[in-house]
Amino acid sequence: MYSLKSFVIVALICTSLTVSSQNADSQQARLLVSKQVLNKLLVQDSDILVKYTIYNVGSVPATNVVLQDSGFPDEAFATVKGNLNIRFNRIPSGANVTHAVVIKPLTYGRFNFTAAVVQYKSSEGAEEPQFAISSEPGEGYIISYAEYDKKFSPHLLDWFVFAIMTLPAVVGPFMLWWVSKSKYELILKQKREKVSKD
Amino acid sequence: MTPTHCILVALSLCAVASSAAGCKYAVESYTTSDAMIVNEAAFIAQVSAECEDSPSNLYAEVEGRLLVAANAGPNKYQVSWLDDFKKARRGDYYVKFYDEAGYGQLRKLLRDGESISSVTPVHSAYVRYPGAYKGVWVNSEFLAAIVSMVVLYFAYTFKSKIVS
């Protein structure tokens, strides 16, 4: 139920906000941006891997590509490794670049993973920056660490405690039997000794 | 009890070769290694350069893969790549960093199908991947069942010995 298959299957949505004439369009860089959360489970205080892929499907290189993701507020997430604001000086036409960030949720509960924003220069002479919005991974439920631990930990300590709790029921009768057995054997031995002496 | 110990932080090790243009590079790396939670092994190397004239673009080559580093601020770069947990090899990954000129040469050599060892990287470092935690080998429930079976077996054989 917490599976993030829906997160992984990403629809590439690209929005180009400024569209000029057809002619100029053909000489422009066009970026498609995907944002994916590559997790099976979202667990509090554990890694969340976010992957950004930028494809340039235009005919010219995109320059000054700035990727900004402000979808992870500081009070709810900590960055484990990687940067959420980065810049690629140049993405050639037909090329793609990937970027990965590992973050850690500090709390649990429902969270909506929103889109990242990419700003770039669509051609050498472009004065106005072009904006693109990445795909949205959507909503996910971050489970608490205690809940995750309950489900997936090996529970070794729990089983050890259980074993100790069952010990009286097993060892108690055994000890009773053992004591009576050794007593009986002692009596038998004494009797035998008596007989042999006689 | 918890598999947290398996979520390992792999700090990059030593700098092997050092800068050409007087730049001092430092690399910090991280890999995701809990296959119970994450789908893919991510390798992230954060590079910081200490010099006046740091390269505007930094590139990396790791095991035949060419990567473009993202600029993450002044004199800061980030290289990241992902691999399947099944394919990712445990151990040290040798990452070579190149500036614009080196990368140009590298691409040319690769296009011609020649060896790339003649191009000197501006820096190189190791990124350690400790392997992934894919859960326990044997379920503890299963283990407990086996242990109780063994106890039961001994108790029964003992009992039948006494009775006979």
Q: Is B101 on the interface with A (CB under 8 A)?
A: no
Q: Is A34 on the interface with B (CB under 8 A)?
A: no
* A183–chain B nearest CA distance, Å: 16
pLDDT at A11 over 60: no
Cβ-Cβ contacts under 8 Å, A87 against chain B: 70-72
Q: What percent of chain B has pLDDT over 70?
A: 87
Considering only CB atoms, B71 lies closest to which of A87, A102, A152, namely A87
pLDDT at B75 over 60: yes
**How do residues B100-151 score in pLDDT, each as one tens digit?**
889 988 888 888 888 888 888 889 999 999 988 888 778 888 888 998 899 8
- The mean pLDDT of chain B is 82
Neighbours of A60 (CB within 10 A): 18
Please indicate whether residue A49 or residue A152 has the higher confidence score (pLDDT).
A49
**How do residues A16-41 score in pLDDT, each as one tens digit?**
333 334 445 568 889 999 999 999 99
Considering only CB atoms, B40 lies closest to which of A49, A83, A86, namely A49
Task: Specify whether the CB–CB gap between A56 and A154 falls below 8 A.
Answer: no
Task: Specify whether the CB–CB gap between B68 and B59 falls below 8 A.
Answer: yes
Q: Is B83 on the interface with A (CB under 8 A)?
A: no
Q: Is the ipTM of this complex over 0.85?
A: no
| pLDDT score for B20 | 44
Residue B12: HSE in the Cβ half-sphere, 13 Å Cα cutoff: 25
DSSP for A21-80 reads -HHHHHTS--EEEEEEE-BS--BTTS-EEEEEEEEE-SSS-EEEEEEE---S-TTTEEEE
Structure tokens at A181: 């057995």
Q: Are A152 and B36 inside 8 Å of each other by CB? A: yes
Give which of A136, A4, A45 is closest to B34, Cα–Cα: A45
Considering only CB atoms, B1 lies closest to which of A67, A86, A153, namely A153
Considering only CB atoms, A159 lies closest to which of B42, B57, B144, namely B144
Ramachandran angles phi, psi of B8, nearest 5°: -95, 145
| pLDDT score for B114 | 82
DSSP for chain B reads --GGGGS-------B-S--SSS-EEEEEEEE--BTTTBSEEEEEEEEEEESSS--SS-EEEETTEEEEPEE-STTEEEEEEEEETTTPPSEEEEEEEE-HHHHHHHHHHHHHT--STTSPPSEEEEEEE---B---SS-HHHHHHHHHHHHHHHHHHHHHHHH-
Partner A, chain B 36-65, Cβ-Cβ below 8 Å = 36-40, 42, 44, 46, 56-57
**How do residues B4-59 score in pLDDT, each as one tens digit?**
343 333 333 334 444 445 788 999 999 998 888 999 999 999 999 888 888 888 99
Cβ-Cβ contacts under 8 Å, B107 against chain A: none
Q: Are A43 and B30 inside 8 Å of each other by CB? A: no
* B71–chain A nearest CA distance, Å: 5
